[in-house]
Amino acid sequence: QVQLQESGPGLVKPSQTLSLTCTVSGGSISIGSYYWTWIRQPAGKGLEWIGHIYTSGSINYNPSLKSRVTISLYTSKEQFSLELSSVTAADTAVYYCARLDWRDSGSFPSYYFDSWGQGTLVTVSS
């Protein structure tokens, strides 16, 4: 069973760049047809998809964050990363990395996050 673990600073100053890394173990990040994903959750609120990078390297971002987000894949290190620039207090949240799998059987395709990191709290404050 693949495992994911987030790491990075828990405190970031306003206007600076938030940087997180997700380390994947128990499976290769470059094998299979997976989307390596970042998701965040402000305290007391719902889940927000930030973006993902496919095993092949193609990338999609949430349109609301696209101008500030960069997701990268480091296959030799079995890691992928998130950079979010020009942060404000509104970016304070628990950040999760997750693996998105998909299958095309039955009437419709299905996309599902089958593995999650434990989450890491990032606070934006001076």
Establish if 117 lies at the interface with another protein (CB under 8 A): yes
List the x/- string, 39-68, binding to another protein by CB under 8 A: -------xxxx--x-------x-xx-----
Residue recorded with tokens 């007391």:
44
**Number of residues lying near another protein (CB under 8 A):** 27
Tell me: does residue 87 bind another protein (CB under 8 A): no
Burial class of 119 by CB neighbour count within 10 A (0 to 12, 13 to 18, 19+): middle
Which one, 16 or 21, has the nearer CB to another protein? 21
Using the minimum distance from each CB to another protein, give the nearer residue, 15 or 118. 118
| Contact yes or no for 53/119 (Cβ under 8 A) | no
Q: Is 10 in the site for another protein (CB under 8 A)?
A: no
CB neighbour burial string for 58-75, b if at least 16 within 10 angstroms, e if fewer: ebebeeebeebbebebee
Instruction: Give counts: helices (H), strands (E), the chain.
Output: 0, 11
Give the strand pairing for 79-84 and 18-25.
Answer: antiparallel
- Interaction between residue 25 and another protein (CB under 8 A): no
Q: How far is the CB of 22 from another protein (least distance, A)?
A: 12
- Choose one: 12-20, 72-80, 83-91, 112-120; the region binding another protein (CB under 8 A): 112-120
